Structure 1
Amino acid sequence: MATRARDRLVETAGRLFYTEGIRAVGVERLLTDSGVGRASFYRHFAGKDDLVATVLRQRDVKWRQNLEKSVAEHGGGPLAVFDALGAMHENGDCHGCSFNNAVAETAGTDDVVRRLAVAHKNAVADYIKGLLAGAGYSARLGEDGMDELAWRFVLLVDGASMASVRDGSSAPARRARAMAEILLNAAESGETERSG
């Protein structure tokens, strides 16, 4: 039973934090919507900040698993990242990147949130770097060039995610894909600038 209460809290918090924002959702709302009592909440979490960190850790794993699965379904190449992103945003129910949102809401003052966001983005960049390597770009670009290109892809992913919130559509992911294709073409022709 105790595990179910914890799971309900995490599931409810994940949904509410993503759709309404971390600051907008207080402990009372979490208790009401999850049906979990206050004593049970504090048995599982030291406070709301602890719950936020748990939700972000879980979101990181789930989001990256979904990305990897969708990228594979879209052919597995580097550009498939944007096809996968577009598929995630097709229903218009996108509220942006949970990690960017959390950092913005805490104005970068919450070290735990910031560290989790940095770790998430590093993991996404590493994944993209692996896709680039699998497509043969490491021989052309070298380690530094691969890092730079992966981070440019992450920047496009972040921008497309935010623009999807604004537009309520997957069109920004298609535009980001077109930009990423230009980056890949430049890398193939040796025109990629290797410095930031």
Structure 2
Amino acid sequence: MNVRVSAGPAAKGAVPGRPRVRDRIFDTACELFYRHGIRAVGVDAIASEAGTNKMSFYRSFPSKDDLVAEYLRDQEKEYWAWWDGAVVADAGHPRRQIEALFDAFLDLARIRASSDCGCKVSRGCPLGNAAVEIPEDNQTLGEIVHSYKSEIRKRLRKLAREAGAREPEALGDALMLLMEGGYQTRLTFPNNTGPVAAIAKAARVLVDAHLN
């Protein structure tokens, strides 16, 4: 979702109304990581963009990996808040919840494409993007991404099972592939002119095929 809001009380001696140094560093890093990638953004760039220095950076975060881990967990938290908000109105109706998820996905894509929405340009799924950049031997960051994606798969399979699908695991996985592909086509087709425009309809076709 990639919406950054600074929180927490101001640090002692901070300028009233201005985020404390740690929040500025974190918010700046989130923006830069999402737009340019984790590897492409170094500590110097983050500190400079946040209006501070490397000493302040390392007082706030022991390492860049610690900052990346917090970024990924924060993005995950935002995603689950979006998910829960999308399905809450249809609680107890799993098929409608599946449809609501993909309707919300499409609505978000349309909002991102609006030139006057005031939101950040979509660069796809932050954790999916990170998975490409995280080295195989970085178990800490890799596990954050793996656990997140596994939970999406688990939730979609659960909804498919509760909706009465003949093969709930297959339907859940197909829905996940559809969602993951939707993120990627938003990157390659400007203003959502690509296949993502059909994602809500495609989800309904999948559900129908597994329920009828």
Query: 1:31 Cα shift?
Result: 0.4
Q: Which has the higher contact order (CA 8 A, sep 6+)?
A: 1
Which residue number in structure 1 is paired with residue 16 of structure 2? none
1:66 partnered with 2:82:
yes
Q: 1:149 to 1:4 in 2, by over 3 A?
A: farther
- Code of the residue aligned with 2:183 in structure 1: it is S
> 1:22 maps to what in 2?
38
Q: Which residue of 1 aligns with 2:142?
A: 114
Which residues in structure 2 correspond to 1:33-44 (within 5 Å)?
Answer: 33-44=49-60
Q: Quick check: 1:155 aligned with 2:177?
A: yes
Aligned AA for 2:43? V
After superposition, give the CA deviation of every residue in 1:4-50 in whole Å (9 maximum; x if it has no partner): 32222221111110011111111011001112332222122221111
Aligned to 2:128: 100
Question: Does the aligned pair in 1 maintain the 2:160–2:169 contact within 8 Å?
Answer: no
Of 43-52 and 63-72, more deviation after overlay is shown by 63-72
Match of 2:191, SS state, is: coil
Question: 1:132 maps to which residue?
Answer: 160
Letter of the aligned partner of 2:101 in structure 1?
Answer: V
Residue 88 in structure 1 maps to residue 104 in structure 2: no
More helix by share: 1
Q: Point out the more displaced range, 60-69 or 171-180.
A: 171-180
- Paired letter, 1:165: L
Q: What's the counterpart of residue 6 of structure 2?
A: none
In structure 2, the partner of 1:123 is 151
Q: Is the 8 A contact 1:99 1:117 kept in 2?
A: yes
- CA–CA distance in structure 1, aligned partners of residues 131 and 74 of structure 2: 16
CA distance in 2, matches of 1:100, 1:108: 14
| Contiguous gaps of at least 5 residues in structure 1 | 190-196
Give the aligned CA root-mean-square deviation in angstroms: 2.5
**Which residue matches 1:31?**
47
Q: Percent identity?
A: 27
> Is residue 83–residue 174 contact of structure 1 (8 Å, CA) maintained in 2?
no
TM-score calculated relative to the size of structure 1: 0.81
The Cα of 1:187 is off from its aligned counterpart by 1.2
Q: Structure 2: any 5+ residue segments left out of the alignment?
A: 1-10, 13-18, 114-120
Give the Cα separation in 2 of the matches to 1:172 and 1:83.
Answer: 14
Give the count of matched residue pairs.
183
Cα offset, 1:74, TM superposition: 8.9
